[in-house]
Amino acid sequence: MYRLSDFYRLSAALTGYEEVELQGTGVGSVYCQTLSKWVRQDVIEALYAQAEQIGALDNDASQARFYDQIWNSAKLGPVARNIIKMWYLSIWYQLPADWNALYGVDDFSADKQPVEDYVISSNAYIQGLVWNALGSHPMGAKQPGYGTWAFPGDTAKTHNLD
């Protein structure tokens, strides 16, 4: 699972969540497979390698290198941003057509590119990081209990009917 561990390490840097938090969602391997389905393996490897070389983003210099070599790279930037969106929103967005022509999966036949943006799975929707980040629960799932909406949102108070 060398690549999955690479995927988690990169994902932690991109999402702002700890690796252990990402693993706790249970959908990391599905996202890793989704990435491999739509992006050429050598591009993914290049992304991992570049991220490895930059290391922890704990100072201005490493962050500047990250922007320069990953975020603003025509080749790697769109992939990095799609990984963040997968984790937060559980959606795979189509990559730009000009990017696809250069770096999409080797087989350029039509069925090798998604025809539209799609939700990766119902479980992925439920595990979307955005709900946790905004201090709530996914709409339609992980119900917090009767009356909890009356409590201030950012306290640790739990279900209490009194």
Partner 1 sequence: MTHHHNDYDVVIVGAGIAGAIMAKQLGEQGKHVLVLEAGTGTDGRFFDQGKEQGYESYMERFFTAMAKIPNAPYPNNPNAPQPLVTDIQKPPLDKPVSDHGYFVQYGPDPFASTYTRSEGGTTLHWLGTCLRMLPEDFELQSRFGRGRDWPISYQELQPWYEIAEQHIGVSANADVQNYHQIDNPSVQLPFAENYNYPMEQIPQSFLDQYLAKGLQGMQVNIDDHTYPIDVVATPQGRNGMPRGDYRPVGAVGNPDLGQRCAGNSNCVPICPIQAKYSALKTLEQAKQTGNVTIETQAVAYHLAVDDNTQNISKVHYKRYHSTDSAAFEDKAVTGKIVVLAAHAVENAKLLLASNVANSSDQVGRNLMDHPTMLTWGLMPCKIGAFRGPGSTSGIPSLRGGAFRADQAAFRIEIGNWGWSWPEGAPIATVPDLIDKQGLFGPALRHKIAEEYPRMFRFGFLVEQLPDPDNRVTIDDQYRDQLGNYRPVIHYKVTDYTRAGMAQAKEVSDAIFQRLGVEPFTQYKTSDPGYVQYQGKGYVYNGAGHLVGTHLMGKDPTDSVVNRDQRSWDHPNLYLVGCGNMPTIATSNPTLTMAALTFWAADNVLNALDQY
Q: Contact residues for partner 1 (CB under 8 A)?
A: 13-17, 57, 67, 71, 80-81, 84-85, 88-89, 91, 93, 116-119, 121-122, 125-126, 129-131, 133-137, 139-141, 143-154
Euclidean distance between CA atoms 76 and 70, whole angstroms:
5
Which residue, 120, 83, 70, is CA-closest to 7? 83
Distance of closest approach, residue 93 Cβ to partner 1, in angstroms: 7
Nearer to partner 1, 42 or 141 (CB): 141
Nearer to partner 1, 1 or 150 (CB): 150
Distance of closest approach, residue 21 Cβ to partner 1, in angstroms: 10
| Spatial contact of 38 and 120, defined as CB atoms under 8 Å apart | no
| Spatial contact of 35 and 44, defined as CB atoms under 8 Å apart | yes
Which residue, 40, 130, 21, 48, is CA-closest to 84? 130
Nearer to partner 1, 36 or 94 (CB): 94
**121-132 burial: b if 16+ Cβ within 10 Å, else e:** eeebbbbbbebb
Distance of closest approach, residue 40 Cβ to partner 1, in angstroms: 22
Both tokens of 141, joined, read 């799932």
Nearer to partner 1, 60 or 154 (CB): 154
Euclidean distance between CA atoms 127 and 27, whole angstroms:
7
Distance of closest approach, residue 106 Cβ to partner 1, in angstroms: 27
Q: Helix, strand, or coil here: 104?
A: strand
Distance of closest approach, residue 70 Cβ to partner 1, in angstroms: 10
Q: Helix, strand, or coil here: 50?
A: helix
Nearer to partner 1, 3 or 137 (CB): 137
